[in-house]
Chain A
Amino acid sequence: MSEIIIFAEIDGDGLHSTAGELISAGKKLAADTGNVVSAALIGGNQDLASQLISLGADKVYLANDDAIQKGVADAYLAALHKICINAEPTVVITSKTPIGRAVGPRLAYRLGSGIAQDCMDVSVDGDSGRVTATRPVYGGNAMAKFTFADKDPQVVIMRLKAFEALEPDSSRSGEVIEFELSLDDSDIKSKLVETVKEESEGVRLEDAAVIVGMGRGLGGPAPFSQLEELAKIFNGAVGASRAVCDAGWLDHSYQIGLTGKTVTPDVYITVGISGASQHMAGCSSSKNIVAINKDGDANIFKEASFGVVGDWEKVLPAFTETARELLES
């Protein structure tokens, strides 16, 4: 039976949160094609392999090699390539993480097959039996569906959190295959010299339940402290538009959007953000979007569920004060 292979990444000592999401995406395709879902676990161990099975994988390729260096795409690519040559999967799925978005495309080109990046959904085309991938294009202004021609594997790169992981169930069964890699020096051209952590205080944007978004409409870096004050009331975090980061008001690690972070808070409160499609690409899955903007025609009001058309300098202090009173009472 042919396979769908997902690239299961490791984060620290555990599985990366995307591993379960990719298994769910694979299972959606498998339901229509009768394929099995296999996970490629590169540089992992038996314990992580069992976790993948409890998340729904039918099979795990457990592949290790001394040449695998965390964070370096080359080794993961060489390993995944070997697994694919051996298993001849019809579909390979990686996630849009730094490693996943480097490895997925390079694998596709190495094998001469098609690749769709930043996918929000995947399905099987009823007529051809081939995969159809849904993804935003033109900065999110348009949505496209791409269908793969007859060349396998069909390589899909999923947007983070596009699928939800299944609840782990240890009664699920699957097969673990120890895969011999024997990577060659020539497989690995680049090396990781160092990893530099830039510590930011407080809650990580990706984990925050409430995010306050800073836009160019704030006019300069100074209002940041007011946004931070609001975020703190909810134990939330401050994010920003690219315009704010490019202007140097905040570091690029604050950037939300197509080329910044993807966030999915319960509430995203935008202040002085116009709601350009490239910004919305990173936050449109927020449960609620709230907008404070002086321009009633701004695109953000097409995306928000509640908003005030007004000057942030007047709106925000009153909003913050009332929110604080409400949360304290």
Chain B
Amino acid sequence: MSLNIIVCAKQVMDPETPLSAFHVDEAAKRVLPAQGIPPVVNGFCENAVEAALKIKEAAGDATITIISLGNNFVMDVMKKPLSMGADQMILIQDPAAENLDALGTATVLSKAIEKIGTVDIVICGQQASDWDNAHVPLGISEMLGMACLSEARSIDLGDGTVTVASSRSDGYDVFEAPLPCLITVSNEIGEPRYPTLRGIMQASRKSPETWTLNDLDLSESDVSPVLTLSELFIPASNRQCEIIEGEDDADSGRLLALKLREEKII
């Protein structure tokens, strides 16, 4: 029987954006897009795509659908999961969904998953590197009444069940849950594969479907915020670094130790 896997993937500002290009408009409470640095698919979401592809390979028959909610999608960026091997993609874009909070985002994504129909596994990243919420997927699982296993470092599919290992500070826990199940993945699940040339060609022929809130029977009032951003700023560093300079590198190392001793730090 064919498996239906959904992966939620978000377009975010490149987290490797140098600090010098990272600017905040404090009055508008907004992070300004970095000049000349294109957005990326959130790292953990790429891990989620990789996890879905591994499940598909193990199961033999599966359909992987990517869904994303956002604005100003850059198509070359968003097509990456398709080039990696996902089957289809749905982009949800709506002016009314411009400034959703996490509850609103989870509401829209879970409605989209319901509209897609039967689903066996939903895979998400553990955290999006813009707002670092790390809970939208948990919200989706609640809204859909699905089992939820978070921060997976491995996923094994059984017969109607799924087994997931999650890291702990001194090892890992192994959990089992029935399908349908929502799973969030950490980077430990494995590096996302590079798209092959064939993958890129195939992806170029696929055009993502686009949905609006209306297509999901949602109106603006269904997604009104429960949390509002009241301030956004770049924290000032108050540390002043004293650079220790000796005659050469080795001498600097020696002086550094002496200095730390003098300051009673070591």
Interface residues of A (CB under 8 A from B): 71-74, 98, 101-102, 104-106, 108-110, 112-118, 125, 132, 135-139, 141-149, 151, 189-200, 204, 206, 210, 234, 242, 246, 252-253, 258-259, 261, 266-267, 277-278, 288-292, 296, 299, 301-311, 314-323, 326-327
B21 to chain A, nearest CB (A): 10
Residue among A115, A194, A299 making CB contact with B102, cutoff 8 Å: A115
A274 to chain B, nearest CB (A): 11
What 1/0 flags go to B170-181 for Cβ under 8 Å of A?
Answer: 111111111001
Are the CB atoms of A206 and B169 closer together than 8 Å?
A: yes
B126 to chain A, nearest CB (A): 7
Give the distance in Å from the alpha carbon of A147 to the alpha carbon of B257 in the complex: 45
Are the CB atoms of A322 and B254 closer together than 8 Å?
A: yes
- A interface SS class: mixed
What 1/0 flags go to B140-181 for Cβ under 8 Å of A?
Answer: 011100111111010000000001011111111111111001
- B interface SS class: mixed
Residues of the A chain whose Cβ atoms lie less than 8 Å from the Cβ of B143: 109
Give the distance in Å from the alpha carbon of A145 to the alpha carbon of B227 in the complex: 10
B50 to chain A, nearest CB (A): 13
Which of B59-67, B84-92, B116-124, B233-241 is the interface stretch?
B233-241
Are the CB atoms of B243 and A296 closer together than 8 Å?
A: yes
Give the distance in Å from the alpha carbon of A98 to the alpha carbon of B175 in the complex: 13
Are the CB atoms of A142 and B175 closer together than 8 Å?
A: no
Residues of the A chain whose Cβ atoms lie less than 8 Å from the Cβ of B153: 252
Give the distance in Å from the alpha carbon of A145 to the alpha carbon of B230 in the complex: 5
B163 to chain A, nearest CB (A): 7
Residues of the A chain whose Cβ atoms lie less than 8 Å from the Cβ of B142: 106, 109-110
A155 to chain B, nearest CB (A): 10
Interface size class of B (residues with CB under 8 A): 35 or more
Residue among B19, B131, B148, B260 making CB contact with A137, cutoff 8 Å: B131
Within 8 Å of chain A (Cβ to Cβ): is B133? yes
Which partner residue on chain A sits nearest B110 by CB separation? A109
User: A307-B243, A308-B256, A326-B261 are contacts. A138–B249 as well, Cβ < 8 Å?
Assistant: no
Closest 3 CB pairs of A and B: A105-B135, A314-B249, A318-B253
Residues of the B chain whose Cβ atoms lie less than 8 Å from the Cβ of A206: 169
B59 to chain A, nearest CB (A): 20
Are the CB atoms of A138 and B243 closer together than 8 Å?
A: no
Residues of the B chain whose Cβ atoms lie less than 8 Å from the Cβ of A315: 249-250, 252-253, 256
Given A114-B103, A144-B131, A195-B173; 5 other pairs, CB 8 A cutoff: A108-B103, A108-B135, A143-B235, A147-B230, A302-B241
Residues of the B chain whose Cβ atoms lie less than 8 Å from the Cβ of A108: 103, 135, 139
Within 8 Å of chain A (Cβ to Cβ): is B129? yes
User: A253-B167, A301-B241, A317-B253 are contacts. A192–B175 as well, Cβ < 8 Å?
Assistant: yes
Are the CB atoms of A308 and B130 closer together than 8 Å?
A: no
Give the distance in Å from the alpha carbon of A34 to the alpha carbon of B165 in the complex: 43
Residue among A136, A302, A304, A322 making CB contact with B253, cutoff 8 Å: A322
Give the distance in Å from the alpha carbon of A309 to the alpha carbon of B106 in the complex: 46
Residues of the B chain whose Cβ atoms lie less than 8 Å from the Cβ of A258: 132
User: A102-B138, A138-B13 are contacts. A196–B253 as well, Cβ < 8 Å?
Assistant: no
